[in-house]
Amino acid sequence: MNHQALTPRVTDPLSNVEVAVRAKDISKDYGKFKALTDINFDVLRGQTLALLGHNGAGKSTLLKLILGLITPSKGQIQVQGQDVRAMNVSQSLSIGYLPENVSFYDNMTALELLDYFAKLKGVTKGKVHTLLSEFGLEAAKDKRLGTFSKGMRQRLGLAQAILAEPKVLLLDEPTVGLDPLASAFLYQKMAQLKAQGCAIIISTHELGLVQENMDRALILGRGHMIASGNLTSLREATALPAYITLHAISNAQRQQVLVDPILASYIGSSTPQGIRLSVPVTQKSVVLTLLLQKLKLEAFSVESPSLQDIFHYYMDKVDAPSSHTLSTDISQGTDIIKELAQQAKREWVA
Amino acid sequence: MSRERVLQRNAHLSALGIITTIAAKEFKDNLRNRWLWMMTGILLLLSLSVGFMGSSISGSLVIFEPAQILSGLVTLSVFILPLGAILLSYDSFVGEKESGTLLLLITYPLARWHIVCGKFLGHTCVMAVACILGFGITGFMLGMLSEVQIRLSILIGFIHLISSGILLSLVFVLLGYWISLIVREKAKALGILLVLWFVLVLVYDLVLLTALVGLADTLNRNLFNVLILLNPSDLFRALNLLAGPSDTLAVKSSLALIAQTGIGLPLMYGLLICWIALLLLWCSWVFKGQEI
């Protein structure tokens, strides 16, 4: 009997895209310690969700909940419309996972390792060779893993995660300790998987890299979901300014900027080399229009708030001195965290 | 219904395949790191030394009687085999926890008892090969050099030594799993297991023998038997003394009394197997309830 066929297809009402992972009111307590509180999110087919947060914020706990390795104290996690705790073998094969800092078995070769995992997943040996070749490990397939670099190990780790062609891929800090080329390779592979419809949840601290490759971010602070959304909505929510730098402007143009009531109000700094404007995201298009049409300026650069800026904005709130007053009992939370969490939940529900 | 149970139900048909895959990997690991050949070499050296050079202790160079050889081998094996088994298994789970591979493995579509049984089957093969080669070669050589009349008793004695040696090793392999499952560091697992080995193999036996000699008139015979059965290493010793050539008991003074439990060989084997079955179930249960 095909169990997957019986599973109701859950779709996102707005996009009509299939929901690959749904977390509904997830909480996880360890005794009095609340590791996660009221987490809600959807990851659609072909989407990448970045899980962000300090160490100990609950990212790995959340991944383990999605894997069904631990049971939530409250709420439910669905993968492909099925409660993850009640998944059968074929359904559990739809999840691929790469743990943080996995070191595998040093005495095995790459071929032996993938072959071992393939047998456990019921995957053919042909697939093993295809993946070794696809991940640039064919030449090193008979070398012991003990001789592999961190980048090669992570490539192998990602290869084992996608052995059974999963619908959902969970990656826990996959680029830690990797050089830029190795990181770029992993993200390139992730983009290919995404294009094939795989939903990816990636926990990471490398915000610059993930910003370019994610569809949504979920920011955790002390076990609470303090923000979630795509980069645009997060920029709007934080209202962090965008920076517009005017390069090589003439004196006449400089004068025009200084006398314009809108532009002048956003001047952050002015030097002989140029002017730097600090513009609220909501006003960015207005300012750009002014610059292009009124001043006929062409040499300027725009820096929107990066994911890193947004992350720091939230972490500064979470780590504000008042937040530390109850740091030994985060079950109480803090007003700021609670407020952010409620706001994030309202946005999610909306 | 828990995920574990659903997996068990659905994976029932392929359970044997999963277990043998894990077992094969464990066996190959021990071939690669030469542990298997090291253990085999130690047992072979031990049995050859006892078999062909044991008499030098008494100032003569003759081959001992089969009873003396087997008795000497049992006395030394009861130390070596459990120690080898502990060294084989102490990092089976805690080591994989540290490297992250256990976390990865339990996300695969297999039940946790598959992992315990797979590792156990692999380690069973390792210990079996080590015992068969380590003791078997000496047994074969002694048999060939002995007179035809006693050849059969040597053969039978070595068969019991090998089979009960494998069972004793497996008990300690499983004790190794248990400790490996409940601690967080490899070094701690090894430390606890060495204490356990010391108590079960040496201290327990000495206390039992002291009690037997000192309280011979008052100690209840049934209680004594139960105390022997509670310790797998004493069970191994008793089994081999009982199974050895007929003159084995006579030459072993107080140790011989351990063998006089009034319990037959099949029951002794059965009890060792019970130890293994209970520990296997226990380890599977402990692992099942763990959050990694």
What is the rounded CA–CA span in Å between residue B112 and residue B132?
30
Average pLDDT over residues A99-120: 91
Average pLDDT over residues A198-208: 92
Which residues lie below 8 Å from residue A23, measured CB to CB, with a gap of 6+? Answer: A39, A40, A41, A42, A62, A65, A66, A75, A76, A77
Residues of chain B found within 8 Å of residue A119, distances taken between Cβ atoms: 17, 21
Is the pLDDT at A288 greater than 70? The verdict is: yes
Span B34-63, pLDDT tens digits: 889 999 999 999 999 888 776 666 666 566
Q: A241-303: what fold?
A: Alpha-Beta Plaits (3.30.70)
Residues of chain B found within 8 Å of residue A87, distances taken between Cβ atoms: 3, 6
Q: In what helix (H) or strand (E) does residue A277 lie, and over which residues does it extend?
A: strand A274-280
Nearest to B77 by CA among B44, B35, B123, B122: B44
Span B105-139, pLDDT tens digits: 999 988 899 999 999 999 999 999 999 999 999 99
If one counts the domains in chain B, the total is: 1
Q: In the 8-state DSSP scheme, what is residue B146?
A: S
Span A209-218, pLDDT tens digits: 899 889 999 9
Predicted pLDDT at B242: 80
Domain that holds residue B251: 3-288
Residues A95, A79 contacting (CB under 8 angstroms): yes
Structural domain spans, chain A: 3-235, 241-303
Mutation site for A-interface testing, chosen from B27, B107, B288 by largest number of A Cβ within 10 Å = B107
Is the ipTM beyond the 0.90 threshold?
Answer: no
Average pLDDT over residues A219-248: 87
Rounded to a whole number of angstroms, the distance from the CA of B87 to the nearest CA of chain A is 18
| Residue of B104 and B248 predicted with greater confidence | B104
Phi and psi at residue B180, to the nearest 5°:
-60, -30
Q: What's the whole-model pTM score?
A: 0.83
Which residue is closest to B34 within chain A, CA to CA?
A: A107
- The residues of B whose Cβ lies within 8 A of any Cβ of A are 1-3, 6-7, 10-11, 14, 17-18, 21-22, 25, 28-29, 32-33, 99-101, 103-110, 291-292
Most confident of A5-14, A154-163, B246-255: A154-163
Residues of chain A found within 8 Å of residue B6, distances taken between Cβ atoms: 86-88
A2 pLDDT tier (thresholds 50, 70, 90): very low
Helix A150-161 to helix A125-134 angle (10° resolution) is: 140
Span B161-199, pLDDT tens digits: 999 999 999 999 999 999 999 999 999 999 999 999 999
Residues B244, B270 contacting (CB under 8 angstroms): no
Is the pLDDT at A312 greater than 60? The verdict is: yes
Antiparallel, parallel or unpaired: β A216-221 and A199-203: unpaired
Residue contact A88–B10, C-beta within 8 A: yes
What is the rounded CA–CA span in Å between residue B5 and residue A326?
40
Predicted pLDDT at A141: 92
For the domain made up of A3-235, the CATH class stated in words is: alpha beta
Residues of chain B found within 8 Å of residue A117, distances taken between Cβ atoms: 108
